[in-house]
Amino acid sequence: MRRKLVVGNWKMHGDIQSNQTLLEGITNGVRELSNADYVVCVPNPYLFQARELLKNTNVAWGGQNVNQHEQGAFTGAVAPHMLTDLGCTYVLLGHSERRSLFYETNLTASARFEAAIKAGLTPILCVGETQAERDAGLTEVIVASQMDAVMATLDEHEFALAMRLNMVFAYEPVWAIGSGKTASPDHAQTVHHFIRNRIAKRNAEAATKVRIIYGGSLKAKNAEDMFAMTDIDGGLVGGASLLLDEFVSICKVAN
């Protein structure tokens, strides 16, 4: 049985004061919830604050992206070891906003995945189709290309390392992100099953262990039906992760 995982993606929101209220509220709200894992991915400037407020709690913290280079003249970029220096254990990669607004590709997501695991970070690779791709019947083609790019990048040693770090995949249909249009549990289950099969092509045992979480307008009211599906191991939560009661309620469902 895979432990459920709930990850909050704050995106570019927050300030010192409101972060403190939210983080203290989350730690209080999930303290007794010991049957699932909880993570918040905060903007980089607030990782220091996350470390101060979340150390010795059952809430982990992570970055929303990372660069593939270890150091150098890459203005504005953040290296994997900088995230681990700040106590991050997770990092989001290939989020659709990074792909659509910042020109990131399967190639950059794969290189970053590789760099993240080498630094000891648990990668959460986001995959998912746009509305147009869905309408054209291309969901599986797109998701397969996003998955296969990473699988092809990892050699045997790296794949084993990614497994030891409990790599995570997040199915996030782009049309569901921030739109209020959640995928139906049946649609999400079908794609999660497809993703698991894709991993099984590489390593059947690994596929049974990998957590695949759903993201896209997830709220407390739809989390129960989603999390009940066989291949849905939790959620990646954007908007609702900024709402204390909603986020804690989703964590309770996962627990």
Q: Give the C-alpha separation, 114 to 67, whole Å.
A: 10
Q: Is 42 in the site for ligand PEP (CB under 6 A)?
A: no
Chosen residue from 63, 94, 128, 215 binding ligand PEP by CB under 6 A: 215
Q: Is 217 in the site for ligand PEP (CB under 6 A)?
A: yes
Q: Give the C-alpha separation, 207 to 66, whole Å.
A: 25
Question: Minimum Å distance from CB 199 to ligand PEP?
Answer: 21
Q: Give the C-alpha separation, 250 to 238, whole Å.
A: 12
Question: Minimum Å distance from CB 124 to ligand PEP?
Answer: 10
Q: Is 122 in the site for ligand PEP (CB under 6 A)?
A: no
Select from 103-111, 145-153, 210-218, 225-233 the region that touches ligand PEP (CB under 6 A). 210-218
41: exposed, middle or buried (Cβ count in 10 Å: 0-12, 13-18, 19+): buried
Select from 75-83, 100-108, 144-152, 213-221 the region that touches ligand PEP (CB under 6 A). 213-221
Chosen residue from 237, 248, 251, 254 binding ligand PEP by CB under 6 A: 237
237 close to 6: Cβ distance less than 8 angstroms? yes
For residues 131-190, which are near ligand PEP according to CB under 6 A?
172, 177-178
Q: Give the C-alpha separation, 61 to 21, whole Å.
A: 16
Which residues are part of the catalytic machinery?
A: 95, 172
Question: Minimum Å distance from CB 200 to ligand PEP?
Answer: 25
Q: Is 234 in the site for ligand PEP (CB under 6 A)?
A: no
Q: Give the C-alpha separation, 207 to 64, whole Å.
A: 24
Q: Output the CA–CA distances (angstroms, integers) from residue 59 to 35, 48, 213, 231, 251, in the order listed.
A: 12, 14, 17, 23, 11
Give residues in contact with ligand PEP (CB under 6 A).
9, 172, 177-178, 215-218, 236-240
